[in-house]
Every structure is written in structure tokens, then in C-alpha cells.
Structure 1
Amino acid sequence: MGWPYEIFALDDAQKHARRQSLDRHAAYAQLSALIPIGLALMYQLGVFIFKRVSPYQPVSYSAVPSSPGLKHERQSAAGSWGITARRIAWWLGDDVVVLGFNLGQRDEIIFGSLWSIWLMFLCFVGTGNDYLHLTKRFGIVAISQLPLQYLLILKSLNPVAFAFGSSHEQLNRWHRVLGGIIYSMLLVHAGLYLNFYVHEGILSERIVRPIPALGLGSIIGMSLLSATALKLVRTYSYRVFFITHLMVALLLPPAIFFHSHHGGRQYVIEPLVFFFIDLITRKIGTITAPSTLELIPDTSLIKIVASLPSSKLDRFRKYAGMHVYLTIPFSSRRSSHLLFEFTFNPFTIASVDEKTGELTLVARRQRGPMTKALAQFAEDDSASTKVPLCIDGPYGCATWFPNLAGPEFDRILLVAGGVGSTFILPISRYIINENPAARVQMVWAVRGAADASWPLENGDDSLDDNIQLFLTRAIPRDPTLREAVELDNTSYPNVRQIHKRPDLRQIVDDFLRQGLEERVAVLVCGPEEMGRELRSYVGAWVNKGRNVWWHNEGFAW
């Protein structure tokens, strides 16, 4: 069976009909994504309004079913379906690794493939054997997805995040999936057009004209964006990826606007409107706070204490486990390096002092310009000197967490690695403060005792009793050095200290083999490998039927 598409001339009426078909199928592609999001958004708004206006408020306590009652529920038909649904949901959330290369989570691959098939159907249906119709269809269906693509990256005003009770960090993975689909379809669009120019012998003539040149430039820009998004490049220099991403995101819509002169321009105007509304909102909400910075001795940690206005304090203390984006304003920079214009680093809120109005962040010094600059501030300035820093936020999916201190869960396991404790520790303290009877176990792995000293410097006399502190730095064989390490640990008499790496499998098994009918929550924040390993061990129990609510907090991208 040969290639069915042909290149032939159309009269004006046929061209008009083709333009109508292009616009119609692009609208189908956009609405098929936005309508479900709109319905979910309306549902969330309805729930929000109902809770506000309803005279019936939920009581603070609801009866917790007994173990026999839960066992009976689990063995019922509904319980069996619930177990199956949890297994499927967990399976969809697992990573797919091929030859050591992580292809992403299984739900990204499955739903991304299904969405690609739907868009491909919209590209082919109704094109007949018109080669140029197919070529243009690939282009306009691809750009019809740009508004959704830009919605997925909004931080302050993100209707998709609100509709699905998520955060922009969690939506970012779908932004990457959709970006790959759009890029692939535009590559096909460009390839088909270049083939057309070669077939007609007009490549050298057309490629220098403004409209084809803008299209080719857009493809080159997206290819550069995709190349810098590779893990190897991001690991070497995340700033290169970020700046390239931002520049292409800003320049791509205008380029497509002038390239697509016959139709579809609304699809590139919409994302720019969304982007700038979000940017303006974030700019208005950003606080410039005088901050003190200090290096935590014997560690690579930097402690940042920002003084907030009392009128702004409430939004930062409302939820535990939120984060902010930190930037260095022009007045605070040691040099007018333009690199800081593109430096927005996320840091989890370690604590908020309601009495003093101080917000504490803890950062680890890395190779990037932000933490290098913060470390220089801490080294050069005295404790009394305050450096103005811009704080944008708070953000995070903790807004949508279930009530961890309520009756929804019987026991909670919290796992932190290094500065991941800035996320885990506030949640632990929130749960215990709200419900002292809550059964919470926290595992915190650090290199040495000094890395766990920052909570004590916040005015606390000791760490929480429920913490298992794992000191992963090897104990020296030299008796003198060993004694020095042991003396270094005497600051934490109430904490169970273990001088080895945590055995996550043993911790999970010990935690989940108790109370088989209990509902448990597991939260982790730490290195990517820690989260992946912990998830594999928890997943074995989910497959056995355990009811587990899981959350892995991370900023991998």
C-alpha cells in the first residue's frame, strides 16, 4: 500500500473549506483537554463555596472503625474493589526503567500515549489525500495545546492545580509529557513542509522567507530546549536549562504568531496572557524581607532567617510543609550579574516564629550561583547585618493534604534525608501539636550530628522524641576520634541515634506489619534514590492490600 497523500492545487472555495477544517479540529483538540479541567474546576469551586456557606460544619472528631469492622469492610466486595484500585493507582505511579534509563512514571507513559493517539487521530481525520492539509493539521493541532502547556507551569494562579488538588511541582511532570508531544508533532509538521519544498524544488527560495524562517527558528529553539532538558545537561548546569527554557517560552508564541498568519493565532496569544498574569501576581505578592544568614558549623548548611511583616505572616504559617522561591534583589547583589535575574530557587519553610515574625529556611551549599551567593553573605556579614532577600510564596501541595492529625490515619511514617527534614520536621511537629496521641514515627538520615543541629538553633531545647536519627558518616576506628564523635552527639540525649545508614526495608516492614487493618500515611523528602527505594518497599505492602497514602516531596526539576 503506497503513500496516499498527494500535492495538488486548490481553488479558493476548497482552500476556505480546508481552513475551516483546520480551525475546527484544532478547537476539538483544545476543548477535549480544557473541558474536563473546567468541569473539575467547577466541582472544586462548588465544594469550596458549599463549605463556606453551609451551616453544617464537620465535627472535629469522627468515630474510627474498629479493627474487626475494618477487616469485614476489607473482605467485602467494595473492600476488594478498593484494594484493587489502590494497587492499580500505585502501579501507575511506579517508574519505568529501561537499561538503567528512567522513562518516567507509568501513568505518564500510558496517558501520554493515549493523548498522543487522540491528537494524531485529529491530525489525520478528514484530510482525504491532501498532503498540505495533513501538513498544516499537524501544526495547528500541536499549537492548540500551547495554552494548556503554559497553564501547567503557572505557580501563583494555576487553575489546573486547583481543579485536581495538586501543586505546580506535581503538574510539572505532565508539562514535560505534553511538551514532548507538542515538539514531536511540530517536528512532523516541519519535516512534511521541508519535504514539500524539496519535492517542488523551492527549498532555497522559501527557506529565507520570513514565514518559513520563523517556523524553522521555532523548531530550532524547541530542539535546543529539549536538548538542555536532558538529565546530563541539567545536572551539569541547571541554570543553562532554566534560561534556555524561559527564553524559548517567551519567544516561541510571538514567532508562531507571525508564522501562522492564516489561523490559530489565538492559541499563542492565550498562553502569553496566562504567563504574564501569573508573573504579575507573583511580583505583587513577593516580599522583600531583611534576612540574617549564617553558616552552620561543621556542615555545608546555610541558615536563613527572614523577618516578615506581621500582615504577611499568616499565609506562611497556615500549612506545614510549604516552600518559597528565593531571589536576590539587585540592591543586595555583590555584582550586577544578570544571571541573578534568572535565579529562583525553591526552599522549604523550616519554621515560622509567630512571636518574632521570623521565617527560617535551611539551604545546602551547591555549585549554583544562588547558594554560593548566600554562603558569601553568611561568611562576610556579621550576625547583626541583614541582607534584603525576595521571598515568593508559599507554594506546595501541603494545601491539599488530608488531615494528617485527624482520624483518617492510624499511624504515620515520616522519612527525611539531609535537608529534607525542613519539609518533614514541621509536619511532624504540626501533627503532634494538633494531636498529641498521634502515632508518628520519623526517620532522619544525616551525615553527622552537626547536620541535625539547625532545629536546636531555632530555640528548641531538643529534637522530638519520635525521631530516629541515623548518622551515616562512618565512625572512625581511632579511639580518640571516636570519642570526639560521641561527644559531638551528646547534644541530642532524647533522640535515638544510630550510627549507620537506615535500613529502609526493615523500617517499612516493621512499620507496616503491625495493625494490618490500619490506615497509614508515608511521607518522604530526601535524595531521589531514597524516595525510589522507599517506594519500592512500601509498594510490596500495598500489593498485599495495605491502605497507604503516599507522598514524595521533591524538586527534581
Structure 2
Amino acid sequence: MTLSWPWHFISLSDAEKQQRRELLDLRGFYAQCSMLLAIVLVRLYIWAFQSRSEAPKPDRRKPLAKSWLDSPPLAGWIETRRQYLVCSIWLAWLLSLCIWNSGEDYLHLTKSLGHVALSQFPFQVLMSPPLYLTSKPASPSLISMLTTIPQPTINAYHRLFGRLVIAPLLVGHALLYDSFFLQSSHPDYGTLFLKRIRDADVQWGILGVVAVTSVVLFTRPAVKPRWALSLRSGSGSAKMRQQVFWTVHVGLVVVLGFAAYLHVEWARIYMIEGLVGSMANVGCGLLL
């Protein structure tokens, strides 16, 4: 028995396209509900763990050694194996959600990757520290306050969530669409790719992929960004370099959100949710 690519280019009627659109929206809804459920379950687990840990603890003069899961996979990395494992499991869940009920429709799978990826954008925003450019860079995010997990730990998940979950799904979405355009013919341009590359929605999509790829390159697992390590010590303080890094990082995220908003109509609700989440994050940081 030979394995073959199960998805193919198929023609759909208007009714079937509408059904596909409804399934895509349902995927985004399920993806967001699953994240909300995960936040609730984490909070309940921490509450239950704290309740069981109220008994007096024995005096330990020596710090406990970190477990294998709570150690970084490579020397100099910040994120732990546990954090990589959690984000990898979440990526697997979202991929299974993309494949669910897609049948043999190649474009259904392609659209699902982009739809599910952007549905996670608001939560990615809610994990970011809201006051990183001020005198309180360690201010807790809304996710940190809801789960009672310290913000430095949330920051690690924020970095990995962008690198291991959102970016691969969006890049996969773009590559599959490019493959479809290159393999489809057009009477005037030869290939559909040469026609669609002139359309504004595709150009905005390309800009979004460039932005998310740039964000990934600026969020490496080293203690300091590679570009920061290359700067001379006399070129500015560590705080200034950090502020430059975050300014570039946030600027790229804004470009990604703006490009996604103009790319397709269905993505606008997720970008609006991300904007509202960002304002709520900053508001809570200022108040608390």
C-alpha cells in the first residue's frame, strides 16, 4: 500500500463553497474555544495544586535540581523542554483541526491553515507583556493574571507560540497557495500565479508572510538576540538595545495585523480582537 497526497484540486458548486466557508469559520471558533478551555483548565490545576500545597514545607537549604523537562534543550536557550513540548502539542492539535472534515479539497486545507493560525493571534497578543517599553518591562499580561503564571514564563510561551505554532501555519498556508497558483493555468498569463501576484489581496498576503517570518528571525531562543550580540558595548545601553528590539518586534506585528486585515475579509474579526486585546492588556497593566 503506497501513501499519496490525499488533497487534490477540485471544483465546487456555490453551495459547496458556502459550506466550506461555514466549516472554516467553525474551525476558527473551535480553535479559540479550545484556547479558552486550556486557560480555564490551567487556572483550575494551579488552584488545586496550591490548595494541596498549603501544608508547611520542610526547610531546604539547597535548591532543588531542575528536572529534565524544566531544563533548556541546548545551553544558552531560555525556553525549556516542557515549553517546547506544550507548544508542539498545541501545533499538532491545530493541524488536526485543519485536517478535520477537509475531505480531498486542497484549497479547503490551504484556507484552514491560515484561518486557524489567525484565530490564535488575539491570544498571542494577550500573552505579551503590556508595558515592555516603560519602566515596568515585567508587568503581567492578561494571560498571566488569569492563569497566575509568572510573566517571564508566559513570555517563553509567547515566543514559542509565535515560532512553533502561528508562523508554521501561516507559512504552510502561503506555500500551498503558491503551489496551487503555479500549477493552475491562465489563458492570458500562462499560470495563475502571474495573474494573482498582481492582485492586492495576494500582495497583502505576501507582506504578511514576510512580516511573520521577520518576527521569527527577531525572536531567537538565545539569551540575547543575535543582532544585539553583534553590537559593540559602546553603541548604547542594554536597556536601549532592548527597547530597539521590542520596537522593531511590535512594528512587525503591526504590519502583520494590517496586512492580514486587508488580505481577506474573514481575517478582520481576528485582527480587531487582537487590537482590543492589546488595548485591554495595556489598560490592565497600567491599572494593576
Q: Is 1:116 aligned to 2:91, yes or no?
A: yes
Q: Based on CA coordinates, which of the two structures has the bigger radius of gyration?
A: 1
Letter in 2 for 1:188: G
Alignment TM-score, normalising by the size of structure 2: 0.76
Instruction: Tell me what 1:247 maps to.
Output: 251
Percent of residue pairs bearing the same amino acid type? 29
Question: Which one has the bigger strand percentage?
Answer: 1
Distance 1:65 1:150 in 2: 37
AA aligned to 1:232 is R
Question: Is 1:148–2:123 an aligned residue pair?
Answer: yes
Q: What is the CA distance between 1:251 and its match in structure 2?
A: 2.7
**Of residues 82, 98, 113 in structure 2, which corresponds to 1:107?**
82
Contact 2:205 2:260 in 1 (8 A): yes
TM-superposed deviation, 1:193: 0.6
Match of 1:134 in 2: 109
2: CA distance, partners of 1:188 / 1:95: 27
Distance of 1:64 and 1:169 partners within structure 2: 27
Distance 1:281 1:245, change over 3 A: same
Residue 269 of structure 1: which of 258, 272, 278 is its match? 272
| TM-score, structure 1 as length reference | 0.41
Residue 227 of structure 2: aligned partner: 233
Report what 2:133 is aligned to. Answer: none
Which structure 2 segments of 5+ residues have no match?
A: 48-53, 131-138, 185-190, 231-240
Q: What number of residue pairs does the alignment pair up? A: 248
Instruction: Give the number of the structure with larger relative contact order, counting CA–CA contacts within 8 Å between residues 6 or more apart.
Output: 2
Query: Does residue 152 of structure 2 align to residue 169 of structure 1?
Result: yes
CA distance in 2, matches of 1:174, 1:66: 31
Say whether the 8 Å CA contact 2:43–2:148 is kept in structure 1: no
Q: Give the drift of 1:154.
A: 3.9
Matched, 1:199 2:193: no
Asked if the contact 2:215/2:253 (under 8 Å) is kept, the reply is no
Q: Return the alpha-carbon distance in structure 1 between the equivalents of residues 153 and 58 of structure 2.
A: 35
Residue equivalent to 1:459:
none
Q: Which amino acid aligns with 2:27?
A: H
Counterpart code for 2:23 = S
Find runs of 4+ consecutive structure 1 residues off by over 6 angstroms: 42-45
Pick closer, same or farther for the CA change 1:63–1:134 going to 2, 3 Å. Answer: closer
Whole-angstrom distance in 2 between the partners of 1:63 and 1:5? 56
Distance in 2, Cα, partners of 1:157 & 1:229: 20
Give me the whole-angstrom Cα distance separating, in 2, the residues matched to 1:149 and 1:65. 36
Note if contact 1:234-1:240 (Cα within 8 Å) is conserved in structure 2: no
The yes-or-no answer on 1:93 pairing with 2:93 is: no
Partner of 1:545: none
Structure 1: gaps (5+ residues):
46-61, 68-85, 286-392, 394-557
CA distance in 2, matches of 1:228, 1:255: 19
Deviations 1:429-455 (A, max 9, x none): xxxxxxxxxxxxxxxxxxxxxxxxxxx
Q: Which amino acid aligns with 2:150?
A: S
Which of the two has greater helix per residue?
2
Deviation of 1:39 after TM superposition, in Å, equals 5.2
Matches of 1:103 and 1:43 in 2, distance apart?
24
Partner residue in 1 for 2:236: none
**Contact 1:96/1:106 (8 A) holds in 2:** yes
In 1: Cα distance, 2:175 partner to 2:110 partner: 9
Helix, strand or coil at the partner of 1:142: helix
1:7/1:132 contact within 8 Å kept = yes
Question: SS at the partner of 2:67?
Answer: helix
Of 35, 38, 53, 1:33 maps to 35
In structure 2, distance between residues paired with 1:95 and 1:66: 28
Question: 1:461-515: CA deviations, max 9, x gaps?
Answer: xxxxxxxxxxxxxxxxxxxxxxxxxxxxxxxxxxxxxxxxxxxxxxxxxxxxxxx
Structure 1 209/94 Cα, relative in aligned 2: closer, same or farther at 3 Å? same
Counterpart Cα distance in 1 of 2:17 and 2:55: 68
Q: How does 1:329-368 map to 2 (within 5 A)?
A: none
Secondary structure class of the residue paired with 2:79: strand
Aligned residue type for 1:133:
H
Q: Which amino acid aligns with 1:275?
A: S
RMSD (CA atoms): 3.0
